[in-house]
Structures are given as structure tokens and as C-alpha cells.
């Protein structure tokens, strides 16, 4: 069959630009739920459940301080996952937007890469707004939720994390024929990652092989990275960052090839 297709940055940028154009029209009405959801977790678990967690908290942090940076990572996962599943499916199979784009000098592979970048951008936008709220709330509570200047690197980190989850979501999208199948993806992939990636409790305390399994999953490293940037990183943070980059780069071209084959007969 044909050679492996590599996207052109120019084409990907044009697709990203289309999404930006549309987002600028609707962002006020669509951003709210994404933004409010992590606040609900923070209130219910951080304050509600947190009140029952014995003094001393986890690793010297109060419970709300412990979970807040992890929620930044999961928020990016959710934003990029919705974008690369339901939104991409509608553009691809229902509105046939990609069929129109690929009759121009923008190729099918550029479309997929542009969607990765857009999902990453969206994750970073939501995450940055949420990061600002966490910072302000920290002052309000009198216990900082974000305590390091390294937190300035959280938005670019969320961009990369968003791209990573977009690659995963797009891979699933490239394999399914019906929109109903996303229930499997969210129930069997996204939700378990959300619960068992060290946002709400340290997975290291579990017996083997749970921590070992966690090491091989993407959100675990995203949570470590965000927590480290919020409180001050260590050398181990580089391992998490490298894991994310290697995993994303290794997988990124797979959905590109499958989507191209579905778009071009």
C-alpha cells in the first residue's frame, strides 16, 4: 500500500484556524460546563470528603491541595477527549466537513494533525482559566492551591497533554462506525484513567501491580506533571514529561493513516 503520510504544518494550521474561527463565535456559551465541572469535584471531594481526611493530609498537603493540580490534568483529558471523539465524529461522518476540506490543497493527514492541535489548544485554554481560578481560590482559603512559579509552565504542559488525549480519542474515532460506541471509550478508558491516575489518592500505596500498571497509562504522568509544576518540580518530573512526549509521538501517526484511508477511497 501507500507510504506513511506525514502531515504538512501549513495544512494543519489551516484546519486549526477554522476551529479557532468557530470557537471565537461560541466560546462564551460553550466554555462554561468544562469550566464548572472541575470546580464541582473540588468542592465535593476537596472540601466535602477532604474534611474527613485526617490532619496531615497526603504527602504533607491538605486534601484539597492534593487534588487540585490533578484536576487540571483530568480537565485537559476531558476537553481533548470530547473534541477528538464526539466533535470530530460529527465533523467527519455527519457534516462531512473533512470531505470538503480535502478537495483543497489541505490533505486528509493535515486535517487530523490540525484537529490534534486544536484539541490541545482547547485543553490549554480551559486549563489556563481553571488554573487562574485555583490560584485565586487558594488565596481565598488561606492555603495556596498553586504554590510554585513553575505553574507558569502548566498551560504549555496542558497543550501537550491535550494533544496526547486527542491522539488517543482520534485513534478510537478512526476505528468506529457509529457514534454510540463512544460509551465504551468513556466507560472503559476515560473514567478508569480519571479515577486511578493519582488525582484522588496516591496509587503508589496500592500493592503491585497497580502502581506498575499506572506507570503505563497516560493520565498518571499528566497528573504527576501538573502536580509537580504546581508545587515545584523534581528530576522525576522529566521522566513524566518524557513519557508523555514519547507516547504521543509514537502514536500520533497511526490515526492519521487510518483516517486518511477512511477519507480517501
Partner 1 sequence: MIRTQSRTSTLIARELKKSYDGFEAVKGVDFEVYRGECYGFLGPNGAGKTTTMKMIYGAVIPTDGELEVAGLDVRRCEREIKRRIGVVPQENNLDDDLKVKENLLVYGRYYDLPRKVALRRAEELLEFVELTERAESPVDQLSGGMKRRLLIARALINDPEIVVLDEPTTGLDPQARHLVWDRLRALAAEGKTLVLTTHYMEEAARLCDRLVIMEGGLIIAQGSPKELIEEHVSPQVLEFRAGPEELERLRPVVEATADAVERTGEALLVFTADADTIMDRVRECGVEVENTVYRHAGLEDVFLRLTGRRLIE
Nearer residue to partner 1 within complex by CB, 16 or 130: 16
Closer CB to partner 1, 20 or 136, in the complex:
20
Residue 4 engages partner 1 in binding (rule: CB under 8 A): no
Nearer to partner 1, 100 or 242 (CB): 100
Nearer to partner 1, 14 or 153 (CB): 14
Binds partner 1 (CB under 8 A): choice among 9, 44, 95, 205: 95
Examine residue 54 and tell whether it contacts partner 1 (CB under 8 A): no
Among 4, 6, 9, 22, binds partner 1 (CB under 8 A): 22
Does the protein bind partner 1 through residue 6 (CB under 8 A)?
Answer: no
Segment 101 to 120, residues that bind partner 1, using CB under 8 A: 101-107
Rule CB under 8 A: choose which of 96, 188, 216, 232 binds partner 1: 96
Q: Does 244 bind partner 1 (CB under 8 A)?
A: no
Q: Which is nearer to partner 1, 111 or 164 (CB)?
A: 111
3-state SS, one letter per residue, for the chain:
CCCCCCCCHHHHHHHHHHHHHHHHHHHHHHHHHHHHHHHHHHHHHHHHHHHHCCCCCECCECHHHHHHHHHHHHHHHHHHHHHHHHHHHHHHHHCCHHHHHCCCCCCHHHHHHHHHHHHHHHHHHHHHHHHHHHHHHHHHHCCCCCCCHHHHHHHHHHHHHHHHHHHHHHHHHHHCCCHHHHHHHHHHHHHHHHHCCCCCCCHHHCCCCHHHHHHCCHHHHHHHHHHHHHHCCCHHHHHHHHHHHHHHHHHHHHHHHHHHHHHCC
Select 221 or 260, whichever has its Cβ closest to partner 1: 260
Please choose, out of 10-18, 164-172, 217-225, 226-234, the segment that lies near partner 1 by the rule CB under 8 A. Answer: 10-18
> Could you say whether residue 262 binds partner 1 (CB under 8 A)?
no
Chain residues that interact with partner 1, rule: CB under 8 A: 2, 10-11, 14, 17-18, 21-22, 25, 95-97, 99-107, 263-265
Amino acid at each position: 500500500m501507500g507510504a506513511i503520510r506525514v502531515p504538512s504544518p501549513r495544512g494543519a494550521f489551516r484546519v486549526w484556524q477554522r476551529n479557532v474561527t468557530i470557537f471565537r463565535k461560541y466560546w462564551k456559551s460553550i466554555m462554561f460546563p468544562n469550566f464548572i465541572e472541575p470546580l464541582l469535584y473540588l468542592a465535593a471531594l476537596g472540601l466535602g470528603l477532604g474534611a474527613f481526611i485526617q490532619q496531615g493530609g497526603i504527602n504533607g498537603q491538605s486534601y484539597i491541595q492534593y487534588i487540585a493540580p490533578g484536576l487540571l490534568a483530568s480537565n485537559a483529558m476531558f476537553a481533548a477527549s470530547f473534541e477528538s471523539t464526539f466533535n470530530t465524529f460529527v465533523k467527519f461522518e455527519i457534516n462531512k466537513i473533512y470531505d470538503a476540506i480535502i478537495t483543497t490543497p489541505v490533505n486528509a493527514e493535515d486535517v487530523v494533525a490540525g484537529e490534534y492541535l486544536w484539541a490541545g489548544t482547547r485543553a490549554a485554554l480551559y486549563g489556563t482559566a481553571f488554573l487562574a481560578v485555583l490560584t485565586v481560590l487558594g488565596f481565598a482559603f488561606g492555603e495556596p492551591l498553586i504554590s510554585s512559579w513553575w505553574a507558569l509552565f502548566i498551560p504549555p504542559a496542558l497543550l501537550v497533554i491535550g494533544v496526547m488525549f486527542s491522539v488517543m480519542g482520534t485513534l478510537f474515532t478512526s476505528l468506529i462506525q457509529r457514534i454510540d460506541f463512544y460509551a465504551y471509550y468513556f466507560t472503559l478508558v476515560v473514567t478508569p484513567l480519571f479515577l486511578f491516575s493519582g488525582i484522588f489518592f496516591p496509587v503508589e500505596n496500592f500493592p503491585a501491580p497497580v502502581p506498575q500498571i499506572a506507570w503505563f497509562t497516560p493520565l498518571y504522568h499528566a497528573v504527576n506533571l501538573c502536580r509537580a509544576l504546581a508545587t515545584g518540580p523534581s528530576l522525576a518530573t522529566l521522566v513524566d514529561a518524557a513519557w508523555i512526549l514519547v507516547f504521543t509521538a509514537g502514536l500520533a501517526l497511526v490515526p492519521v493513516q487510518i483516517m486518511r484511508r477512511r477519507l480517501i477511497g
